[in-house]
Amino acid sequence: MATTSAALPSMAALSLSPPPLLSASSSSCSRQCLHPPRPRRNLVWVLNPGAPGGPVCSTQVLKEGTRDDRVVDRSLLEFEEASSDDELWAASCLRVRTFNQFNPSTYAVEDLKRSLAEREFEALKERIAGKRESFRRVSCINATLPMSQIMIGSNDLLSTCKFSKSGKDRVVVATLDLNQCLWLPDEIVGTKPQQDIGADFARAYLSNVCVAEELQRNGLGYALIAKSKIVAQEWGITDLYVHVAVDNEAAKKLYMKSGFEYESEEPAWQARFLDRPRRILLWTSIAASCDL
């Protein structure tokens, strides 16, 4: 289903937005760190620690196109707007690990990861603080789980995407940005509502939509988008947009399920000029009541 402009390989990476995580000056470095998709691995998750008889555990072999729906205890999920720098940093780290593939043997690869996360973190804080021109309002919305629910097999997710809330450790497992603005830089522009009836207030875009690789196909993306609609409605938004690569079928399927429909697509010349896959623009009305 900000970011690199590389093609999105899976449902984990669902949309793109400015500012890019990788600028032209850093593209040569990032290409050196690109690596074929990481092999799927065995994971052990605590499913329901409070179940009768004690914790219920299951070993999952993560295969393409399959997922055990019991992996996530949905009662422990929280969908909220980020309220601390600690959580914004965790969300930035999740975006870096989702939108990039790194070769572990590459020299100073951990330094590169941290540099990319710092760049996204600072840009995200600026947008939320209203310091980026053309952004009227921005919120980072996350899905989080208690750290105890992610036990074995994903040390990287635990170490890079955790944060502390009310004295307890949680992990950001899905994230997106809600941007109240007329347009996103370098993206095709929505047409609803019309400019003369307050489009700068009533139009918004989703961006940086991603789900942790380990927890895909558990409905997190769908639920996170539903939460973003509720927040957008509270802001007075009536028309919500998202950009998605034309060949990202998993993301398009998710957005269509969430009520989005096709509005327009990027000209081929623009995609070539920006050296990225061509995008389509999807739209949905959120004037009606939205519920998770």
Is the pLDDT at 171 greater than 60? The verdict is yes
CB neighbourhood size of 144 (10 A): 25
Split into its structural domains, the chain has a count of 1
Task: List the catalytic residue out of 107, 205, 222, 255.
Answer: 255
Please state, in angstroms and rounded to a whole number, the distance separating the CA atoms of residues 140 and 209. 10
State how far Cα 238 lies from the chain centre. Answer: 22
Residue with tokens 């999105």: 8
Query: If pLDDT is split at 50, 70 and 90, which confidence band does 23 have?
Result: very low
Query: If pLDDT is split at 50, 70 and 90, which confidence band does 16 have?
Result: low
Assess if residue 69 is contained within a domain: no
**Comparing C-alpha atoms, which of 276, 234, 277, 270 is closest to residue 252?**
277
Please state, in angstroms and rounded to a whole number, the distance separating the CA atoms of residues 91 and 111. 18
Please provide the size of the chain in residues.
292
pLDDT of residue 65: 35
pLDDT in tens, 207-254: 999 999 988 888 999 999 999 999 999 999 999 999 999 999 999 999
**Comparing C-alpha atoms, which of 181, 182, 83, 184 is closest to residue 137?**
181
Assess if residue 195 is contained within a domain: yes
Assess if residue 188 is contained within a domain: yes
Whether 241 contacts 281, CB under 8 Å? yes
Assess if residue 68 is contained within a domain: no
Please state, in angstroms and rounded to a whole number, the distance separating the CA atoms of residues 175 and 215. 12
Active site residue 241: no
Q: What CATH number is given to the structural domain containing 101? A: 3.40.630.30
Please state, in angstroms and rounded to a whole number, the distance separating the CA atoms of residues 124 and 136. 14
Q: In degrees rounded to 5, what are phi and psi of residue 86? A: -60, -45
Assess if residue 43 is contained within a domain: no
Assess if residue 165 is contained within a domain: yes
Could you tell me where the beta strands, DSSP code E, fall in 13-53?
42-46
Query: If pLDDT is split at 50, 70 and 90, which confidence band does 13 have?
Result: low
pLDDT of residue 158: 86
Query: If pLDDT is split at 50, 70 and 90, which confidence band does 151 have?
Result: low
pLDDT in tens, 197-215: 778 899 999 999 999 998 8
User: Residue 165 is encoded by which pair of tokens?
Assistant: 């809330």
pLDDT of residue 152: 58
Please state, in angstroms and rounded to a whole number, the distance separating the CA atoms of residues 275 and 45. 40
What is the pTM for the complete model shown?
0.76
Expressed as residue numbers, the domain containing 202 is 74-285
Helix axes 249-257, 220-235, angle to 10 degrees: 50
User: Residue 192 is encoded by which pair of tokens?
Assistant: 């609803």
Please state, in angstroms and rounded to a whole number, the distance separating the CA atoms of residues 124 and 139. 9
Assess if residue 235 is contained within a domain: yes
Assess if residue 44 is contained within a domain: no
Average pLDDT estimate for 96-101 = 92
Residue with tokens 């008889």: 53
Query: If pLDDT is split at 50, 70 and 90, which confidence band does 150 have?
Result: confident
Average pLDDT estimate for 8-26 = 45
The percent of residues in the chain predicted with pLDDT above 70, rounded, is 72
